[in-house]
Amino acid sequence: MTSLMIATRPAAAPAPTLGAALLRTLRSEFTKLRSVRSTYWIMFGLVVASAAWCVAYCLGTVHQWPHMSAQDRSGFDATQNSILGLALLGQLVIVVFGALMITSEYSTGMVRTSLTVMPRRGTLYAAKAAVFAAVSLVVAFVASFGTFFLGRVLLSSTHVTMSLSQPGVLRSLIITALFVEACGLVAFGIGALVRNTAAALTLAFGFLVLLPQLVRTLPVFLHNDLTRWVPGGDAINSMTATIGGQIPHTFSAWGELAVFAGYAAIVLLLGAVQFARRDA
Amino acid sequence: MIEARGLVKRYGSTAAVNDLSFTIRPGLVTGFLGPNGAGKTTTMRLILGLDYPSAGTVTVNGKPYAQLPDPMHEVGALLDAGAVHGGRTARNHLLGLAQTNGIGPRRVDEVLGLVGLTDVARKRSRGFSLGMRQRLGIAGALVGGPQILMFDEPVNGLDPEGILWIRNLMRSLAAEGRTVLVSSHLMSEMEYTADHLLVIGRGRLIADCGMAEFIARGSGQAVRVRTPQPDALAQAVAAAGGTLASVGDDGQLEVCGLTEDQVSDLAFTQGVRLYHLAQTRASLEHAFMELTADSVEYHAELPAAK
């Protein structure tokens, strides 16, 4: 039995370069991600939740349309209505995806096995984050463009024009997908910080959903100063709107996204430091 | 070759590992023994770089573990067979590990065959028995064909067939000149498997020597007896300053610290009937209990032998 083991022992290759090691770890992390069922359920859930919102809103609008004033009709943001579900519900789903990506390693104990075969922690963390980012980005873009076109079909009876060449539409689709992506990365970083699924989800939801609500309770002058720095909330409106003026006291859509991406980068970095420093 | 120098790991004020220095040499099965909580698993985690030492160093083939270029080719480790994602198939689990070290699916299938898991390779490991999970973990350790192997309590919870399989695997790995470090608290098992012993208690090194030497360090000799009145004999032996332990499942008891003649006299004066009385080499279990008596974390009353 064991002689077979010797005969087939893979030749010890020369030490891999940093790039080669990262590439191998990326391949490994992709194998791990695609080989558990929950990955597919979560991606399916994200698309379905976004689409369900789109259907509910658009059908409601179609129903209301004959009773709406000309002013209401001209102020109706068809793009935002179609894709807002991705920003609001998709945000919740991707948080679960991002957190589980790392906390499931801790809940199963798999992280110790992973670190035994790839002990360079920075490489493992980077590969994990990159695989998650790539896969979830594809899903987020599918959902943002998918719901836009779904909305266009559903709203056809209203004869509202919906086209990618309209001002702000493409921007809105891209920013919404990137916003959702950033939510996932925040959850990933929090997962690495707390190493526990329930704690990571609670903190991520608190940060993304509860914090903006709390800021609203502040006195107006404080709220107006702070709101552009707060993740989610009003920011989502700025990011997704394609018609009408910019909401006061916020940055432009790209600016709001940049602020949010900054938060994601900070949390990811803190997670990396914890992942590298603490005992596994 | 694994070398530890002055290894210390503290959790708060307690030291799980306290100033450990040892060298694990190739071509031998080194049994890593200690009572529960002695620091065996912590030491193995320190070797693998999973935990960082509070002081001291440990190297594998002269380097800290994290600096090994392709660790699977040098070290195969199984610390916890349950540390897998149950939703993944056996093959995908192994493939995910192997790919980090540039090992492809062909070798993965080969090793699955080696450990006898080919038939369930595409089944989720959630439904695996403990024995199958143990085999999967061992497959993970063998994939890279490493020269150093580490197993933490590999026979825990296995059936006799599984135990025999592990025992033979360790022996043949060492016979091929590999370094094998295997921890256990099952002395009878180690007696069959290990050539060399590394014994720790409360995080400190108690012994680093050959099996025969370790047993000789205890009382060395023992008296095997079989009796229908074990309780009465236990009391008499204790009163006379000896120790008594049960060995094996066939009701045999082992007395240390007393000669054959003394045990016979004791039995006669106490009216204890003996069916069997023989001088023998003390078992590893007995030597271990004598030498680690001060370092057991939680003492329980020795239950009366049945």
Architecture of the domain made up of B2-209: 3-Layer(aba) Sandwich (3.40)
Contact list, A121 vs chain B (CB under 8 Å): 66
pLDDT at B142: 94
Q: What is the pLDDT along chain B (306 residues), one digit of tens a residue?
A: 899 999 999 998 889 999 999 999 888 899 999 888 889 999 999 999 999 999 999 999 999 999 998 999 999 999 998 899 999 999 999 999 999 999 999 999 999 999 999 999 999 999 999 999 999 999 999 999 999 999 999 988 788 888 899 889 998 999 999 999 999 888 878 888 899 999 998 889 988 998 888 887 776 678 888 888 888 888 888 888 887 777 655 677 888 778 888 889 988 998 899 888 888 877 787 778 777 776 655 555 545 443
pLDDT at A7: 39
Q: Is A170 left (phi over 0), alpha (psi -120 to 50) or beta?
A: alpha
Number of H-type helices and E-type strands within chain B: 11, 13
- Between the alpha carbon of residue A80 and those of residues A84, A88, A151, A231, the distances in Å are 6, 11, 10, 19
pLDDT at A248: 73
Could you tell me if A107 lies within 8 Å of chain B, comparing CB atoms?
no
pLDDT tens-place string over residues A3-49:
445 434 555 556 778 889 999 999 999 999 999 999 999 999 999 99
What residue type is B140 in one-letter code? G
pLDDT at B304: 45
CB contact under 8 A, A36 and B87: yes
Query: Residue A193 in contact with residue A274, Cβ under 8 Å?
Result: yes
Instruction: Report the alpha-carbon distance of residue A235 to residue A247 in Å, rounded.
Output: 9
CB contact under 8 A, A28 and B169: no
Residue whose entry in the numeric block shows the structure tokens 């030597």: B287
Q: Please, is B59 exposed, middle or buried when counting C-beta atoms within 10 Å of its C-beta (0-12, 13-18, 19+)?
A: middle
pLDDT at A8: 43
pLDDT at B305: 41
With a cut of 50, say whether residue A97 has pLDDT above it.
yes
pLDDT tens-place string over residues A198-209:
999 999 999 988
β-pairing verdict for B29-33 and B14-24: unpaired
Instruction: Report the alpha-carbon distance of residue B121 to residue B220 in Å, rounded.
Output: 48
pLDDT at B249: 58
Pick A109's closest partner by Cβ from B71, B80, B114: B80
pLDDT tens-place string over residues A220-245:
888 888 888 888 666 777 778 887 65
Beta-strand ranges (E) seen in chain B are: 2-11, 14-24, 29-33, 55-60, 75-78, 148-152, 179-184, 196-201, 204-210, 221-226, 243-247, 252-256, 276-281
Give how far B91 is from chain A: nearest CA, Å: 10
pLDDT at B219: 64
Q: How many CB pairs under 8 A join A and B?
A: 128
| Fold assignment, B221-281 | Alpha-Beta Plaits (3.30.70)
pLDDT at B227: 87
Structure tokens at A171: 């921007």
The helix (H) or strand (E) run that includes residue A218 is none
User: Domain segments of chain A: what residues?
Assistant: 18-277
Backbone angles phi, psi at B236, to 5 degrees: -65, -40
Q: Which residue of A has its CA nearest to B109?
A: A8
Residue B18: name the closest of B203, B200, B206 by CA.
B203
Query: Residue A189 in contact with residue A119, Cβ under 8 Å?
Result: no
Residue B18: name the closest of B229, B243, B201, B261 by CA.
B201
pLDDT at A2: 45
pTM of the model: 0.87
Give how far A29 is from chain B: nearest CA, Å: 7
Mutation test of the interface with chain A: which of B65, B85, B169, choosing the one with the most A Cβ atoms within 10 A? B85
pLDDT at B295: 61
pLDDT at A6: 47
User: Domain segments of chain B: what residues?
Assistant: 2-209, 221-281
Contact list, B98 vs chain A (CB under 8 Å): 28, 117
B103 Cβ partners below 8 Å, 6+ apart? A10, B72, B143, B144
